[in-house]
Amino acid sequence: ELKVEQNPLFLSMQEGKNYTIYCNYSTTSDRLYWYRQDPGKSLESLFVLLSNGAVKQEGRLMASLDTKARLSTLHITAAVHDLSATYFCAVDRGLLRTGANNLFFGTGTRLTVIP
Amino acid sequence: NAGVTQTPKFQVLKTGQSMTLQCAQDMNHEYMSWYRQDPGMGLRLIHYSVGAGITDQGEVPNGYNVSRSTTEDFPLRLLSAAPSQTSVYFCASSYSGLRRGNTEAFFGQGTRLTVV
Closest residue of chain B to A42, computed from CA coordinates: B109
Find the farthest-apart pair of alpha carbons in chain A and give their distance in angstroms, rounded. 47
- The torsion angles phi and psi of B25, rounded to 5 degrees, stand at -130, 150
* Nearest to A85, CA basis, from A46, A55, A49: A46
Q: Do A50 and B101 touch (CB under 8 A)?
A: yes
Q: What residue type is B62 in one-letter code?
A: N
**Cα separation, B69 vs B87, whole angstroms:** 26
Q: In this predicted structure, what is the pLDDT of residue A35?
A: 97
Q: What residue type is A64 in one-letter code?
A: S
Using one digit for the tens of pLDDT, what is the confidence trace for A25-80? Answer: 998 877 899 999 999 999 999 999 988 889 999 999 999 999 999 999 999 999 99
Using one digit for the tens of pLDDT, what is the confidence trace for A79-109? Answer: 999 999 999 999 987 776 777 888 999 999 9
Please, which residues 3-32 of chain A have a Cβ atom closer than 8 Å to chain B? Answer: 4, 31
Q: Do A102 and B58 touch (CB under 8 A)?
A: yes
How many CA atoms are closer than 13 Å to the CA of A60, on its beta-carbon side?
A: 15
Question: Smallest Cβ distance to A102: which of B48, B95, B106?
Answer: B48
Query: How many of the other CB atoms lie within 10 Å of CB of A72?
Result: 28
A104 to chain B, any CB pair closer than 8 A? The answer is yes
Torsion of CA B54, B58, B62, B66, to 10 degrees: -30
Q: Do A88 and B110 touch (CB under 8 A)?
A: no
**Cα separation, B56 vs B67, whole angstroms:** 9
Average pLDDT for A3-26:
95
Please, which residues 55-94 of chain B have a Cβ atom closer than 8 Å to chain A? Answer: 56, 58, 90, 92, 94
Closest residue of chain A to B35, computed from CA coordinates: A103
Listed in sequence order, the residues at least 6 apart from B96 whose beta carbon sits closer than 8 Å to its beta carbon are A99, A101, B30, B31, B50, B51, B103
Q: Do A99 and B51 touch (CB under 8 A)?
A: yes
Q: In this predicted structure, what is the pLDDT of residue B58?
A: 93
Q: Are B26 and B72 in contact (CB under 8 A)?
A: yes
Please, which residues 21-50 of chain B have a Cβ atom closer than 8 Å to chain A? Answer: 30-31, 33, 35, 40-45, 48, 50
Average pLDDT for B81-96:
95
